[in-house]
A and B are shown apart, each in its own frame.
Chain A
Amino acid sequence: MAFSPLVAPSPSATALLKKGSATGQENESQLRHSSSDREITEQLNDEVRHKYIKAKKLGEGTYAVVFLGHLRADPSSFVAIKKIKVNAEYKDGLSMDAIREVKYLQELSHPNIIALHDVFSSKDQNLNLVLEYLPRGDLEMLIKDSNIHYGVADIKAWMGMLLRGVWFCHKNFVLHRDIKPNNLLIASDGEVKLADFGLARSFADPYLNMTHQVITRWYRPPELLYGARQYSGAVDIWSVAMVFAELLLRVPFVAGNSDLDQIARICEAFGTPTEDNWPGVSKLPNYIPADANHLIPGQSRDFFLRQFPTAGAVGADLLMSMCTLDPRKRSTAYQALRHSWWATEPRPTNKEDLPRKSGGTKKMGDDLTRRGGELDDQFKHAARQLDFSAMKA
């Protein structure tokens, strides 16, 4: 995403922040000006901040700016520094996106999840996330570039890395809720990394509601489109299946231009959800009863094989298992990883030998500043509306 004119820095707000509690109301906190006892932690923070040098700006979005940086001690070890903007987020508290991102990346460490090396605060009270540097762009870039040729062995390698990352999230009770090709970044060694945890959350306790306004529309599963408030890792698996299909077709597989259109297209592609193929579906809040004269039957394995010939029979079977309409029957990440496709020829390409494209650094900057749930600039029908009322039990 490009610069947003909406959030030109307001000097007054910044000045206010810097001033801290030196003047003003009588009840002001002594938080920032509490002299000596803050030294130790400030030193610690300074040490972290000093470890890195910010070089050029890679991208800027509404709530973050991303810089290319490197270790002071070693100019050849690059990092991406994501600075959460003060004026956009700060006066009303830190946004849920920033909180979620920090919260989960601090705890999840896996080769297929973007690493958070450090967090430090800068003098103007910005939160800076020091992220792994992923210079080779994202999967979307490769899918869209018609000069790049890739085959099923490459797809198998990418899908394997993606599924391992998703499996790790789910194993740790975290739902990502925004899996799509431009959140799948590529490291210099070719490793695919799941990024942007701005919409992630932990599994809810049983019977507690979650919002259904998550996951970018084209990758959003039918249960969320029908307004389900209790759901599982199956939502991410649907997205993974849509990424799989997109890698095979090189265009988004079900690209609706509204939520209703998205449902219609899913029905066309996979069959109409009914009580027969998905018990309980008619009880979902936004369920639309299907026209009895226009019921599309569920698709058979043949359909998938015809639609995705490159995947082969076994690959089509895996895809089908991940986009089953009924989320309870959908494969889990673990099941998908145990599928026989991985043991079928061809073997996945070694990550070092995967197709690559230059210009990835700029793309990383864009990817890291975009808000979750957004499609690219021209498609602004985003999933992002986390209203507070929707999240209460």
Chain B
Amino acid sequence: MAANYWASTQRRHWLFTRERLAEIREGLKEKDKVAHSQFPLPDQRLLNIYFSQQLGRLGKRMSTRQQALATAQVYIKRYYTKNEIRSTNPYLVLTTAFYLACKMEECPQHIRFVVGEARGLWPEFIAPDVSKIGECEFSLISEMHSQLIVHHPYRTLSDLQPELALTSDEVALAWSVINDHYLTDLPLLYPPHVIAVMAIIVAVVFKPSSQTSSYGHPAPIAGAMREGGMNFLAALSDKGGTGPPERIQKLIAWLAESEVDIKAVIECTQELVSLYEVWEQYSEKNCKELLGRMVKSKSLEK
């Protein structure tokens, strides 16, 4: 992380309201209704799960840092607020976002290496020509107006760990909740510290059986969060009474004193719950087929 979030381009240019984001997407859809009816795609979040898994595969062989993968996911989101996904080759966008994010996060990989790996994974969709990535990189950078620094919630999490006396289990859980939030629109909707606080609350209050969620079976988390959420909301509104355990009371006291937007934190939590619910419908095969059909028929048109 560099520079100051409050003065950052992320805060000034890449933070949207839900309404604005919906408007933008509606606008993209309006422009190409035919493609939309011709190529149905799964729920955005399911696609995001697919992208994130594919990125994970790409990053794995090169032992990339998590932060670069996170940055790549944000780049993809930003790019698709400017471009309709159906007019792109998502595999190329994904590979390029990865390549650019690695440079940005100071763990650069050679372009040939990246292309080689990507071709190994998706030979049908990635051309051997490295200049394709160069070209797409240029497009990514211009669409993002060269605003490339992304502030992530991970740093806030490590900063708050001593202050809130988080156990290593809680940190690990919060960390994977942060990983999961990249599957939603949250990075475009809320500042990173709100996300970090949300992840901490999920980890401390809901304690979804200490099982990490990433790409596993998210269902228990959704359930735990539904129940825990009620208790937590009750605790927030009910100042008297018996109240929740001391540990949670402490966290609530800290939250009350901090100036973190509690309403935003709760909205993030709800977003995450619905992610875990929609996750149950996820099918890698389905995403792959729909995307494959879309990209192939597009390239035939040319």
Contact = CB atoms under 8 A, between A and B. Distances in A.
Interface of A: 16-17, 20-22, 25-32, 34-38, 40-41, 45, 90-94, 96, 99, 102-104, 106-109, 119-121, 125, 127, 172-174, 201-204, 210, 388, 391-393
Contacts of B82: 40-41
A30 B3 contact: no
21 contacts: A17-B135, A26-B299, A27-B299, A30-B87, A31-B88, A35-B87, A37-B32, A41-B143, A90-B134, A90-B138, A93-B111, A93-B137, A94-B138, A102-B146, A104-B3, A119-B145, A121-B141, A127-B146, A202-B1, A204-B106, A210-B106
B134 A99 contact: no
B3 A172 contact: yes
B89 A36 contact: no
A34 B83 contact: yes
B172 interface: no
Interface stretch (B119-127, B190-198, B215-223, B242-250): B119-127
A96 B83 CA distance: 26
A102 B107 contact: no
Contacts of B131: 16-17, 90-91
Contact of B139 (A31, A99, A103, A106): A31
Contacts of A125: 135, 138
B148 A93 contact: no
Interface stretch (B4-12, B15-23, B251-259, B275-283): B4-12
Interface of B: 1-4, 7-9, 28, 31-32, 65, 82-84, 87-89, 92-93, 99-100, 103-104, 106-112, 124-127, 129-139, 141-143, 145-149, 295, 298-300, 302
B133 A28 contact: no
Contacts of A92: 111-112, 130, 134
B111 A391 contact: no
A36 B3 contact: no
Contacts of B106: 201-202, 204, 210, 391
Given A92-B130, A106-B9, A127-B138, A34 B87 contact: yes
Nearest to B110: A388
Contacts of B84: 34, 37
Given A27-B125, A107-B3, A391-B107, 9 more contacts: A29-B92, A31-B88, A90-B134, A91-B134, A92-B130, A94-B103, A96-B108, A174-B3, A393-B107
Contacts of B111: 92-93
A321 B186 CA distance: 47
B32 A36 contact: yes
A30 B89 contact: yes
A30 B125 contact: no
A38 B31 CA distance: 10
Contacts of A204: 106
A45 B139 CA distance: 12
Given A29-B92, A99-B103, A388-B110, A173 B1 contact: yes
A30 B129 contact: no
A225 B137 CA distance: 35
A94 B141 contact: yes
Nearest to A108: B3
A20 B138 CA distance: 12
Given A29-B132, A172-B2, A106 B89 contact: no
Tell me whether chain A's interface is mostly helix, strand or loop, or mixed.
loop
Contact of B142 (A16, A34, A36, A121): A121
Contacts of A108: 3
Contact of A99 (B104, B129, B300): B104
Nearest to A94: B137
A29 B104 contact: no
A32 B143 CA distance: 12
Contact of B133 (A20, A93, A201): A93
Contacts of A93: 99-100, 103, 111, 130, 133-134, 137
- Of B112, B126, B143, most buried by chain A (CB within 10 Å of CB) is B143
B104 A32 contact: no
A173 B2 contact: yes
A66 to B, nearest CB: 17
B104 to A, nearest CB: 7
A63 to B, nearest CB: 14
Given A20-B135, A99-B104, A391-B108, A104 B2 contact: yes
B3 to A, nearest CB: 4
Nearest to A17: B135
Contacts of B143: 41
Given A25-B127, A99-B104, A107-B9, A37 B87 contact: yes
A76 to B, nearest CB: 27
Closest 7 CB pairs of A and B: A34-B87, A202-B2, A107-B3, A119-B146, A121-B142, A102-B146, A172-B3
B133 A27 contact: no
Contacts of A32: 135, 139
A127 B3 CA distance: 23
A31 B4 CA distance: 33
A392 B99 contact: no
B138 A121 contact: yes
B127 A107 contact: no
B134 A31 contact: no
B163 to A, nearest CB: 18
Contact of B129 (A25, A26, A37): A25
